[in-house]
Amino acid sequence: MKSLLFRLAALAAPASSTFVVQCTSRLFDQRADPVIDPGSASSHVHTISGGSNFNFSMTFEDARASKCTTCNIKQDLSNYWSPKLYYHAQDGSFQDVPIIGDNNGGNLGGMAIYYLTRGGPDNDKLRAFPPGFRMVAGDSSKRSETDDFAGRAVTHKCVGGASNGPDPKHLPNETCDQIRVQVTFPSCWDGKNMDSENHKSHVSYPKDGNYDGGRCPSTHPVHLATLFYEVYYDTKGFKNKWYGDKQPFVFANGDATGYGYHGDFLNGWDESALQKGLDKCVDGVANCAEQVFGTFNTQSETQACKLPSMIEEPVTGSLKALPGCNEVTYGPSPATSPKNCASPRLLSAITPQMAGYVDVTGKGYKYIGCGKDNANSRSLVDELLTGDDMTVEKCIDFCKGKKKSYAGIEYGSQCYCGNSLASDRAPAKGLNCLMKCGGNKDQTCGGADAISLYQACSGGACTNAVKRQSRKLLSLDMAMAKTAM
């Protein structure tokens, strides 16, 4: 069944969309941006979707080496990200606003990425994004309205509000069930540079027509697909928390206007697959994406693709300040970069396959890895314990008390026990047991259709099958020095 996010997205889909990359989940919310701030923490928090090899610095080859993606099209291992939205309370604190689809299990809400076929009045052939290509749309420091194409490319929609007019460029100043934030990227390329110093000069909006369709300028003659990001924030729970004469929401970059919303794109496509999609998926072709790309990743697979935090700082819940020391600004002057902000500590990169587990060898059980599970056919079927206070130790104690050889924790709150494990359910690479345990957020308890497996020790040494990866803390200076080497 499709998530609410994409049922809403379908209603808002532009008429000439070719296909939609449905990112039904996200890797994490993190102060990371390998395009703008490579090798260090970025200035503000982003919601990040796409391939699992995302890191502070990365190449096209890194993206293509991803083991999973939070998006549905298997040939696309790109990364897509944009600033996170917060509620600014009257006492000065901040509360993260959930994306439609989020729940207590983790970052299960995502974004929709429309790939639009708009070759302009000359019906230009669209070029697939080349290897190494990346770009940014929008301006994080912007705090006032402009009517150029770049200004028109950022809009907001109040879903469930009283007004029915055009989508404003600013954050809606009325209570809404959801706020849909959206940004359209430039679609004209200079044909030479994969990036530029400001991450924008190598691309351009059309010179005429509209920002999302028109004739490319001679300086940027190569027509690309038009990317259109769409994220639904669930603001219904804040309807009774408004105060004063301004709307209470602010993006992670301190932007209380909405004019500074932006998006980043780092290409990770199989180039031939994307080119085939752009060639074949034209207006009026039904089910084209299925015909071109074949079998999609399931929602369970995309929601199981998660990464552990790379920075030691809270970015969700109730916060005293926006991460990165971003001050709330209302314009009209552009915002300036934060000064004298203490550097956070970076955690060494941890791959999904080497995610943290709990050493319970003292209880007579060893960790054997992350295995595949299925709601219709469980890997461990003898005993079940559920609860929002689940921890690894609680599950181990339960299964040990039942005298079971295997214990498995799934979806943050479910503990399964059994005396046998089928060979096709044994731990395997490419699975992601990164969902936080309900009773201890420092532990991981499986994922969606992925189960953290522990086995009772019998004779000899009781040794975990996967060596715990170091979580050595690095200062920003050390991380940047390493990047510069």
Shared domain for 247 and 369, answered yes or no, is: no
Calculate what percentage of the chain has a pLDDT beyond 70.
Answer: 88
pLDDT band at 248 (very low <50, low <70, confident <90, very high): very high
Residue 342: inside a domain: no
Please count the CA atoms within 13 angstroms of the CA of 107 that sit on its side-chain side: 27
C-alpha to C-alpha distance for 230 and 222, rounded to whole angstroms: 25
Shared domain for 291 and 172, answered yes or no, is: yes
C-alpha to C-alpha distance for 213 and 185, rounded to whole angstroms: 11
Q: What is the mean pLDDT of residues 404-414?
A: 94
Peptide bond into 166 cis (omega under 30): no
For 193-207, letters b (16+ CB in 10 Å) and e give: eebeeebbebbbbbe
pLDDT at residue 164 is higher than 60: yes
Spatial contact of 437 and 391, defined as CB atoms under 8 Å apart: yes
C-alpha to C-alpha distance for 220 and 470, rounded to whole angstroms: 46
pLDDT band at 461 (very low <50, low <70, confident <90, very high): confident
Q: What is the dihedral of CA 18, 84, 261, 325, to 10 degrees?
A: -160
Higher pLDDT, 83 or 13: 83
Q: What is the mean pLDDT of residues 111-120?
A: 90
Shared domain for 137 and 279, answered yes or no, is: yes
Residue 221: inside a domain: yes
Q: What is the mean pLDDT of residues 430-457?
A: 82
pLDDT at residue 481 is higher than 50: no
Residue 6: inside a domain: no
Which pLDDT belongs to residue 382?
96
End position of a domain, from candidates 261, 292, 319 = 319
Query: Considering just the CA atoms, what is the radius of gyration of the chain in Å?
Result: 23
Shared domain for 281 and 406, answered yes or no, is: no
Which pLDDT belongs to residue 428?
79
pLDDT at residue 416 is higher than 80: yes
End position of a domain, from candidates 319, 338, 371 = 319
Q: What is the mean pLDDT of residues 47-57?
A: 94
Average pLDDT, the chain: 86
Strand order through the sheet with 188-189: 203-204, 188-189, 222-223
pLDDT at residue 145 is higher than 50: yes
Q: What is the mean pLDDT of residues 257-265?
A: 97
Shared domain for 166 and 303, answered yes or no, is: yes
Shared domain for 290 and 374, answered yes or no, is: no
Residue 4: inside a domain: no
Which pLDDT belongs to residue 343?
79
Which pLDDT belongs to residue 238?
95
pLDDT at residue 470 is higher than 60: no
pLDDT at residue 10 is higher than 70: no
Residue 466: inside a domain: no
pLDDT band at 251 (very low <50, low <70, confident <90, very high): very high
Spatial contact of 279 and 361, defined as CB atoms under 8 Å apart: no
Which pLDDT belongs to residue 466?
60
Shared domain for 71 and 208, answered yes or no, is: yes
Please count the CA atoms within 13 angstroms of the CA of 473 that sit on its side-chain side: 7
Which pLDDT belongs to residue 47?
96
Spatial contact of 109 and 100, defined as CB atoms under 8 Å apart: yes
pLDDT digits (tens, 9 = 90+) for 301-318: 998 898 888 898 999 999
Residue 343: inside a domain: no
pLDDT at residue 282 is higher than 90: no
What is the number of domains present in the chain? 2
C-alpha to C-alpha distance for 477 and 344, rounded to whole angstroms: 10
pLDDT band at 376 (very low <50, low <70, confident <90, very high): confident
Which pLDDT belongs to residue 467?
42
pLDDT band at 344 (very low <50, low <70, confident <90, very high): confident
Shared domain for 287 and 406, answered yes or no, is: no
Shared domain for 305 and 367, answered yes or no, is: no
Q: What is the mean pLDDT of residues 141-167?
A: 92
Most confident of 14-23, 151-160, 428-437, 454-463: 151-160
Parent domain of 369: 361-456
pLDDT at residue 297 is higher than 90: yes
Q: Per the confidence metrics, is the pTM higher than 0.75?
A: no
Furthest-apart CA pair in the chain: how many Å? Answer: 75
Shared domain for 381 and 262, answered yes or no, is: no
Shared domain for 273 and 402, answered yes or no, is: no
Residue 324: inside a domain: no
Whichever domain contains 365, its CATH number is: 3.50.4
Residue 158: inside a domain: yes
Which pLDDT belongs to residue 472?
31
Spatial contact of 405 and 420, defined as CB atoms under 8 Å apart: yes
Most confident of 118-122, 130-134, 280-284, 471-475: 130-134
C-alpha to C-alpha distance for 308 and 234, rounded to whole angstroms: 24
End position of a domain, from candidates 319, 347, 369 = 319
pLDDT at residue 338 is higher than 90: no
pLDDT band at 6 (very low <50, low <70, confident <90, very high): very low
Spatial contact of 29 and 102, defined as CB atoms under 8 Å apart: no
Shared domain for 282 and 399, answered yes or no, is: no
**How many C-beta atoms lie closer than 10 Å to residue 43's C-beta?**
21
